[in-house]
Structure 1
């Protein structure tokens, strides 16, 4: 009888751990695909058992692919946020007063109505 390993854990972390998670999930998917291929050669199982195991393996592969997609999406989101942070203009508090939109002490205009 074919045994199926169902160990998969995903936790949020830095990009280096995301890369290692991606590699780990890819290895798990490869193992499950190999189990799926070897399932057809297994003569100890009935057709119903083979079908049941095939569905179980395929659902595990689908879950792992979903986790992989989620990790990749998080990595892309972090990359976009880093880009936006590097392009974001300063809030204005750290800018030097130029007398136009940020008046200096000499170029201040007080209007009272």
Structure 2
């Protein structure tokens, strides 16, 4: 698989996983979200997928998407597996800030730089 195809496939999966997180968390208040074991677990699973996809993107793709919070995703990947109050804050921050911003930038970049998202070799 070429780097361009890997990037396009990864970016498509990122978009899908971010959308999934937002759908799961839609309309939930913090306490409601944190007390829902199933929703919380699925959001956590999707967030780890997103963080791993972000980490696996080729350097060129990440350089071409500078507004995405790469450091935030890297930190999330390291802190998310921890349990407890810090994990609560991490999950809520990702759900309400990091994911929406990432999805917004991905969609904007899809319009600005369609070649990044193209499945052409």
Same fold by TM (over 0.5)?
A: no
Q: What is the TM-score when the length of structure 2 is the normalising length?
A: 0.40
Larger % of helix: which?
2
Q: What is the TM-score when the length of structure 1 is the normalising length?
A: 0.43
Q: Bigger relative contact order, structure 1 or 2, given CA contacts below 8 A and separation 6+?
A: 2
| Structure with larger Rg | 1
